[in-house]
């Protein structure tokens, strides 16, 4: 399990070793709690006229992530499936030392 705070600033490469950018922000589906997209630049005030274009140019779907360790590797290939140990669920940060009842 990874923390969302671990994503910010990670370098993103495609499966051909081409540098794409660095993760700036994370877009979360609040209903499911899952990461939907990562952005390559900070999300600022967007008008409805520019938001679709901005999202198309500055975001990567988290379903494209095939590996997440020291760097993030993404692929557009339909057959690319992440290894279970490489891509784990990203969870919101919680307490570092959870309270335990005795």
Q: Structural domain of residue 23, as residue ranges?
A: 2-91
Q: Is residue 59, in this structure, part of any structural domain at all?
A: yes
In a domain, 98, yes or no: no
Largest CA distance in the chain: 56
Report the Cα–Cα distance between both ends of the chain, in Å, rounded. 26
**The pLDDT value given to residue 19:** 95
Quick check: is 97 in a domain?
Answer: no
Tokens of residue 3, six digits: 């923390």
Q: Which residue has the higher pLDDT, 80 or 59?
A: 59
Tell me, yes or no, whether 100 lies in a domain. Answer: no
Mean pLDDT of the chain: 78
Phi and psi at 59, nearest 5°, equal -130, 155
Whether residue 17 is contained in a domain is answered as: yes
Give Cα separations from 19 to 4, 27, 63, 71, 91 (angstroms). Answer: 21, 21, 18, 10, 26
Between 102 and 59, residue with greater pLDDT: 59
CATH of the domain at 34: 2.30.30.240
Rounded distance, CA 21 to CA 27, Å? 16
* Domains identified in the chain, total number: 1
Region 3-11: mean pLDDT is 85
pTM, two decimal places: 0.66
Q: Is the pLDDT of residue 97 over 90?
A: no
Q: Which residue has the higher pLDDT, 51 or 59?
A: 59
């Amino acid at each position: 399990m990874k923390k969302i705070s671990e994503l910010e600033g990670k370098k993103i490469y495609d499966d051909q070793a081409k540098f794409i950018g660095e993760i700036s922000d994370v877009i979360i589906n609040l209903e499911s709690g899952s990461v939907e997209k990562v952005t390559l630049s900070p999300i600022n005030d967007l008008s409805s006229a520019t938001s679709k274009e901005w999202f198309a140019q500055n975001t990567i779907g988290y379903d494209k992530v095939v590996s997440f360790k020291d760097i993030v590797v993404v692929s557009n290939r339909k057959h690319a499936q992440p290894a279970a140990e490489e891509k784990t669920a990203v969870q919101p940060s919680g307490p570092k030392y959870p309270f335990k009842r005795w």
